[in-house]
Amino acid sequence: MTGAPNSGSAIHVDALSKRYGRTLALDGVSFDVGDNELFALLGPNGAGKTTLMHILCTILRPDSGVALIGGFDVVKQPLAARRRLGIVFQEPSLDDRLTVHENLNLHGLVFGVPRKLRRQRIEEMLALVELTEWADKRARTLSSGMKRRLEIARALIHDSEIMLLDEPTAGLDAQTRDRIWSYIGRLRNERQITVLVTTHYIEEVEGFDRVCVVDHGKVLALDTPEALKRDCGQQLLRIVPKGEDNRQEILTRYADRLAGEAGESILLTSDDAFVEALLAEYGGRIRSLAIEVPSLETVFLSLTGRELRDQAAGARESTLAFGKRGGEHTR
């Protein structure tokens, strides 16, 4: 297969592995994303989502396994794959000193979009993300939500058929997040486009076609949100025992039901009969009790055994902070 893409799936990932030193970031991940599908990769930070994204956008080589973008191998035919990709990275990647329009124009030039089409696309995409009035403002003057919108517009200037969005809504307020999803929805009505999104906001993936839950570099579940809730959705009981001794007792007694621990509270898999039994025995020794009906949140908890964790600041962040403090010749 030299030029013609394999028909079928827009993104094909087969047994992909990547190791960083002793950590296995990706451990034999396989899945397919169909044409025009809205596909979510859901997982806590450090689950391997971004590693997977970097492999898909051809800037990282996998140790083993195959990844195809529109039928093109990301390792063997990276240029052909890139031409089909529209990417929004987790970290902002705009040039702050250029204007909104210049940022889009640069992207068009770099992706070889002819002048006439470039102009037309820039106008269309600015309109889509409602930034037309900001076209001549420097990118640095935009709010973080507007920057994100601009990056989405940018990813669509060339003939992108497959959009990869890495945590597109992280750190944004609820209103901006809604807007971003509405742009993506509108876009999918106007243009044939496959969208792969990574996120750790569970509530956002309800409207997706399919959701893939990953953790520790492995695919834990892959289905429509409804099916996931039906199959993996386990009713959970969240209890906070009074005192340490009660806590230990409950933990040993129901060790087989333990679904996770979060701070003071204990999560147990449960059903109606179990709740009654537990209340009869420990009713007086529990400070609080909540029944969590199956939602994607509980699906996630029962699959990964934990809640979504937060990220620690690394070396990169500290250099970034230097720049933000006004380090020389940065922006």
Partner 1 sequence: MTSAGPTAPTARRSPLLIQLGGLYGIWLREVKRAIRDRGQLIGGISRPILWVLILGIGLNPYFRGEVYGEVTFVVPFTYLQFIFPAVVALNIMFTSVQSAVSVIWDREFGFLREVLVSPMSRGMVLLGKVLGGATVAVFHGCLVLLLARFADVPLTWLDVLKALGLMAMLAFALTSLGVVIANRIRSFEGFGVFSNAVILPLYFTSSSIFPIDPSLSRAQTRVVYPDWLVTIVEYNPLTYAVDALRGVLINYNQFDPRLGIAIMAIFGVVLFAIALFDFRRA
Residue 20 binds to partner 1 (criterion: CB under 8 A): no
How many chain residues are in contact with partner 1, going by CB under 8 A?
Answer: 54
**CB 61 within 8 Å of CB 78:** no
* Residues numbered 299-328 forming contacts with partner 1, rule: CB under 8 A: 315-316, 318-320, 322-323, 327-328
d(CA 248, CA 198): 37
Q: Among 12-20, 41-49, 111-119, 229-237, which window interacts with partner 1 (CB under 8 A)? A: 111-119
Cα-based distances in Å from 264 to 130, 201, 245, 283: 45, 23, 13, 17
Residue 130 binds to partner 1 (criterion: CB under 8 A): no
Indicate which single residue of 23, 30, 93, 288 sits in contact with partner 1 (rule: CB under 8 A): 93
**What is the DSSP secondary structure assignment for residue 138, as one 8-state letter?**
B
Q: Kindly tell me which of 151 and 215 has the beta carbon lying closer to partner 1.
A: 151
Indicate which single residue of 63, 76, 117, 311 sits in contact with partner 1 (rule: CB under 8 A): 117
Residue 277 binds to partner 1 (criterion: CB under 8 A): no
DSSP string, 58-89: TSS--SEEEEEETTEETTTSHHHHHHHEEEE-
**CB 30 within 8 Å of CB 13:** yes
**What is the DSSP secondary structure assignment for residue 44, as one 8-state letter?**
-
**Which residues does residue 18 pair with via DSSP β-bridges, in sequence order?**
26
Indicate which single residue of 67, 85, 131, 299 sits in contact with partner 1 (rule: CB under 8 A): 85
Residue 119 binds to partner 1 (criterion: CB under 8 A): no
81: left (phi over 0), alpha (psi -120 to 50) or beta: alpha
Indicate which single residue of 87, 125, 180, 184 sits in contact with partner 1 (rule: CB under 8 A): 87
Please, what is the minimum distance in Å from the beta carbon of residue 121 to partner 1? Answer: 10
State the binding string over 254-273 for partner 1 (x if CB under 8 A, else -): --------------------
Torsion of CA 64, 72, 86, 162, to 10 degrees: -100
**Which residues does residue 73 pair with via DSSP β-bridges, in sequence order?**
68
Neighbours of 237 (CB within 10 A): 22
**CB 166 within 8 Å of CB 90:** yes
Indicate which single residue of 111, 181, 201, 274 sits in contact with partner 1 (rule: CB under 8 A): 111
Residue 161 binds to partner 1 (criterion: CB under 8 A): yes
State the binding string over 176-195 for partner 1 (x if CB under 8 A, else -): ---------------xx---
Residue 124 binds to partner 1 (criterion: CB under 8 A): no
**CB 200 within 8 Å of CB 44:** yes
Torsion of CA 28, 45, 223, 55, to 10 degrees: -40
Q: Kindly tell me which of 155 and 303 has the beta carbon lying closer to partner 1.
A: 155
Q: Among 24-32, 109-117, 257-265, 297-305, which window interacts with partner 1 (CB under 8 A)? A: 109-117
Please, what is the minimum distance in Å from the beta carbon of residue 196 to partner 1? Answer: 14
Indicate which single residue of 2, 7, 175, 252 sits in contact with partner 1 (rule: CB under 8 A): 7
Q: Kindly tell me which of 86 and 241 has the beta carbon lying closer to partner 1.
A: 86
Which has the closest alpha carbon to 118: 127, 129, 107?
107
Tell me which residues touch partner 1 (CB under 8 A).
4-5, 7, 10, 35, 57-59, 70-71, 79, 82-85, 87, 89, 91-98, 102, 105-114, 117, 158-159, 161, 191-192, 315-316, 318-320, 322-323, 327-331
